[in-house]
Amino acid sequence: MPGSVGALASAALVAFAVYTVAAAPDYTASGPQVRFTTATGCPHRLDRFGDVRADGPDLGDALAPSEPARAGVVCSYRSLQRSAAALSASVRLGPAEARVLGGALARVDLKDAPDETSCPADTGRFAVIVLAYSGRPDVDVRYQDSGCRTLDNGVVSAWEVANPSFYNRFAPTFDRLLHNG
């Protein structure tokens, strides 16, 4: 049965990709950066998108402020060709939902990727979480939710790999609020 083992190994390589990632101490946003707000909501198409653009103070130590968010919107996208993306879903968050999701984001540990990481295939899906706070500009967080899952606010980032605050707190909270699961 050596042919069967080879076919299984080939199928496994298709399902998972192994990336060698240099763990960088500083996060650098990829461009072009786009600014989202709760007032404008989710653009139906992003023709050039690399990352979210940070606005406001205190975004260098956490993905989101520790104070309670008062509203929010989540924009889910699927990637198209040449850094374009199309809106696949959007959800408005009420005060209670925004407070819970903002709290989960504020508590995610900011960790670099391990030197070598094995990730599922990247399907090009991502979400932008936009949270409104009193007395400051809205906070945008990009959630790469396929492949190597990551979060970033345009200033700092966090990886899911080896990060329980990401996969035990944030991800289940996001899924429960957005998918009623």
User: Along the 181 residues of the chain, how does pLDDT read in single tens digits?
Assistant: 444 333 333 333 333 333 333 333 356 667 778 899 999 999 999 988 888 988 888 899 999 999 999 999 999 999 887 778 999 999 999 999 999 999 999 999 997 767 777 788 888 899 999 999 999 999 999 999 888 899 999 999 999 988 999 999 999 999 998 876 4
| Beta strand extents in 94-138 (DSSP E only) | 116-120, 125-132
What is the Cα–Cα distance from 172 to 75, expressed in whole angstroms?
17
Contacts by 35-41, CB closer than 8 A, 24 or more apart: 35/140, 36/73, 36/75, 36/128, 36/130, 36/138, 36/140, 37/130, 37/137, 37/138, 38/71, 38/72, 38/73, 38/130, 38/131, 38/132, 38/138, 41/73, 41/75, 41/90
Residue with tokens 């993306």: 85
In angstroms, rounded to a whole number, what is the distance separating the alpha carbons of residues 18 and 116?
A: 8
Residue type, 161: V
Q: What is the pLDDT of residue 4?
A: 39
pTM of the predicted model as reported, rounded to 2 decimal places? 0.81
Strands in 157-159's sheet, in edge-to-edge order, are: 45-46, 85-93, 71-79, 125-132, 139-144, 150-152, 157-159
CA 25-118-4 angle, to 5 degrees, is 165
